[in-house]
Structure 1
Amino acid sequence: MSLKLHYIPFTLQFKFDARTSRGAIKEHKVYYISLSEDAQPEVIGVGECAPLAGLSIDYRPDLEEKIKEVADLINSQKVKLEKGAPLPEELKLQQWPALYFALETALLDLKNGGKRLLYKNSFSRGEAGVPINGLIWMGDADFMQEQIAKKLKGGYTCLKLKIGGLDFGQELEILQSIRERTPADCLTIRVDANGAFSPQEAFKKLERLAKYDIHSIEQPIKQGQHKQMAELCAYSPVPIALDEELIGVLGKDSKEELLDKIKPPYIILKPTLVGGLASSAEWIALAEERSIDWWMTSALESNIGLNAISQFTAQHDITLPQGLGTGQLYHNNIASPLQIRNGELWYEQEQSWGELPS
């Protein structure tokens, strides 16, 4: 099988300044990777390489150089890709998780006919939706309240609020206002601190958050503080979900060591950050062996990456809302069959995919 790899740089433009405790994001540079066979050049598999500034280990100035290197190796047939097989070690992609995810999904798409249908399941057939949380971005109190009202009107039964960017008292007031309108048996609330709390203040803040029947908090303290995170997981009144903590943890042994040391109630998987779908599947298996629950989340990819993650997610028994409601973030997203209805993500088969940028 002789494959050709092409790539297209593209800059996604946010509809608003997407704020986290790490700062605001206005745009997101991505690379679309396409694979085709010489014998059938019209059949094209597509993947998305979309590392995030300040978060992804492969958000580096030499990323495009690495993509060119991989393209040269594949196009010259010095390295051969096989449909259905892991990516060859000769590509040296261990430190390039976003690129691994892009190649892995492009190859899977090509294997299945280049129609953006990577898996055959009830979701990709348009028979079932995937429950998702409504994402509430940081901003002033009015901006956050406006988002909350829209999500509740849209039928969401689970909201995720980014916290750590406003005065903590203000954030608690916003949570109080939600709970006054909607009790815990009608609405699940998750919060994401993106590592904003210091280890010294974290437990007291978690105690205050617990008053609002919070389902979970993502990454209360910065990653890499394993002893402190393990203590928080053991004693926190709000269950903790590891997110950034998983980034850069490579290989099965390292994953097992992390889970056994910290013992989190939940882990959150972003394939772009943790090394693709196969790596995510390994995390899921290890977590389930330890009775650790999990959910998948987009790392702000466009609809190309979001589609791959959503179809992969639907291959599993889903017990919790997933973090896959990011398809409406960009002015210039790729048109897709992905649609949100009543707090669920659906694949509307009658809708067509838009063209990739040239």
Structure 2
Amino acid sequence: MTRAHSPTEVHAALEAADPREVFPEIAVVSLPMVTRFRGITVREAMLLRGPAGWAEFSPFIEYDTAEAARWLLAAVEFAWAEPPEPLRPRVPVNGTIPACPPGQVAEVAARYGDVSTFKIKIAEQGAASLAEDLRRIEALRRARPDAAVRLDANGRYAPEEAMRALQAFSRFELQYVEQPVAAVEDLARIREAADAAGLGIRIAADESIRKAEDPYRVAELGAADVIVVKVQPLGGVIRAREVVTGCGLPAVVSSALDTSVGLSAGAALAAALPVTDRVAEIFGGAPACGLGTSALFAADISAAPVRAEHGSVPVGRAAPDPAQLSRLRAAPSRVRWWMHRLQQCWKHLRTESSPRPRPE
């Protein structure tokens, strides 16, 4: 068995001129999805094997090199070092309902088994899709009346639209509404206005954490009650945990539409976060995390995909199955595209200061 390397050795790995010197095995896969999600029906990912095990590098196609390089930094860390010791052996997860027609909600929800929390994607067309969003929430309430519900707008509302939407959503009992507006300053104003109006809706920040130059500004401005953190966009498990500690806010770990390999990194982060009094007050215990998204894939790379069982997923590394790697291998042109992207991001990490959260 190969030994996991220390953080110092992980940093030293970036001194290699070529990532193929660091990862003895690299694969690019193309996973078909059961429904359109985030505008795609196929999810591509690069899998990299290092001394500690397999890791995932799967920034979305439209991301530039600087942003994608943070995702590669996360892969280097997870492939070369063991994550922090878990505080629990399993992580509760939520189901994710994409911006699908309301008539499909019950079918999609059923894929997650008996999870007790769901996140519904809303605002696909901003305020123009509000009526359909309300029908989607109602459909989930009919299908799973006892489930806790979260909404995710991905920052698509203008500020004046966001308040109208929050007023419409206030008739539902919600855990939170995630990123109703894009700018963190607007997020702070929306949270203040929602509190002043007595809407009883918590605000969560996602893009204001993972896409921001300064992820701590959310806490400084009082822009959110909850933060949503993702391992790859934040540069790794350890860096993501630093952001959670530095913000001092309850955190929900979520997937970036990862394969089972990436989901296992997310589970490692979630299992390392303590259940504070504030977390218990909002969620009743460890929060359900957005790590059940392998249910959105028609096929995954592991023989035993990271799927929710009795509302939770296990903590532990996932590895691709050789037969699945062969069956789901991306087309040669796409492999070349991903190898070029890997080289560009590697060069960026070696020549630029990698984004790193500031210390607490």
TM-score, structure 1 normalization:
0.71
Paired letter, 2:203: I
Paired letter, 2:50: L
Equivalent residues of 2:105, 2:140 under 8 A apart:
no
Q: Please state if 1:323 is matched with 2:281.
A: no
Alignment-derived partner of residue 254 in structure 2? 297
2:210 pairs, out of 227, 247, 252, with: 247
Equivalent residues of 1:8, 1:32 under 8 A apart:
yes
Identity %: 21
Paired letter, 2:174: I
Equivalent residues of 1:190, 1:217 under 8 A apart:
yes
Q: Please state if 1:5 is matched with 2:5.
A: no
Paired letter, 1:32: L
1:94 to partner: Cα distance: 8.2
Alignment-derived partner of residue 231 in structure 2? 271
1:331 to partner: Cα distance: 3.6
1:341 pairs, out of 299, 309, 314, with: 309
SS of 2:166's equivalent in the other structure is helix
C-alpha offsets along residues 308-351 of structure 1, whole Å, 9 cap, x if unaligned?
220221122243111110123334422155342121112599x9
Paired with 1:261 and 1:231, the residues of 2 have a C-alpha distance of 9
Which structure 1 residue ranges, 5 or more long, are not aligned?
37-43, 64-92, 110-117
Distance 1:213 1:103, change over 3 A: same
Distance 1:333 1:182, change over 3 A: closer
SS of 2:293's equivalent in the other structure is coil
User: Which structure features the higher share of helix residues?
Assistant: 2
1:45 pairs, out of 44, 49, 53, with: 53
Paired with 1:293 and 1:220, the residues of 2 have a C-alpha distance of 18
Paired letter, 2:75: A
Equivalent residues of 2:267, 2:315 under 8 A apart:
no
1:235 pairs, out of 193, 196, 204, with: 193
Paired with 2:221 and 2:118, the residues of 1 have a C-alpha distance of 29
Paired with 1:150 and 1:333, the residues of 2 have a C-alpha distance of 14
Paired letter, 1:171: D
Equivalent residues of 1:8, 1:357 under 8 A apart:
no
Paired letter, 1:229: L
1:243 to partner: Cα distance: 0.5
User: Which structure features the higher share of strand residues?
Assistant: 1
1:256 to partner: Cα distance: 3.0
Equivalent residues of 2:158, 2:181 under 8 A apart:
yes
Pairwise CA RMSD: 2.8
**Which structure 2 residues correspond to residues 130-141 of structure 1 after superposition, within 5 A?**
130-141=91-102
Equivalent residues of 1:179, 1:212 under 8 A apart:
no
Distance 1:201 1:121, change over 3 A: closer
Aligned length: 288
1:97 pairs, out of 70, 91, 101, with: 70
SS of 2:227's equivalent in the other structure is strand
Equivalent residues of 1:12, 1:332 under 8 A apart:
no
Alignment-derived partner of residue 204 in structure 1? 164
Equivalent residues of 1:9, 1:29 under 8 A apart:
no
Paired with 1:211 and 1:264, the residues of 2 have a C-alpha distance of 20
Equivalent residues of 2:229, 2:252 under 8 A apart:
yes
Paired with 1:98 and 1:181, the residues of 2 have a C-alpha distance of 36
SS of 1:328's equivalent in the other structure is helix
Paired with 1:304 and 1:314, the residues of 2 have a C-alpha distance of 16
Paired with 1:45 and 1:315, the residues of 2 have a C-alpha distance of 19
**Which structure 2 residues correspond to residues 1-358 of structure 1 after superposition, within 5 A?**
4-6=21-23, 8-20=26-38, 24-36=39-51, 45-54=53-62, 59-60=63-64, 96-109=69-82, 118=83, 120-121=85-86, 128-151=89-112, 154-165=113-124, 167-179=129-141, 186-222=146-182, 225-236=183-194, 237=199, 238-250=201-213, 254-288=214-248, 292-318=249-275, 319-335=286-302, 337=304, 338-347=306-315, 354-355=321-322, 357=325
Equivalent residues of 1:5, 1:33 under 8 A apart:
no
Paired with 1:240 and 1:173, the residues of 2 have a C-alpha distance of 21
Equivalent residues of 1:136, 1:162 under 8 A apart:
yes
SS of 1:148's equivalent in the other structure is helix
Paired with 2:35 and 2:311, the residues of 1 have a C-alpha distance of 23
Which structure 2 residue ranges, 5 or more long, are not aligned?
1-8, 14-20, 276-285, 327-360
Paired with 1:312 and 1:348, the residues of 2 have a C-alpha distance of 11
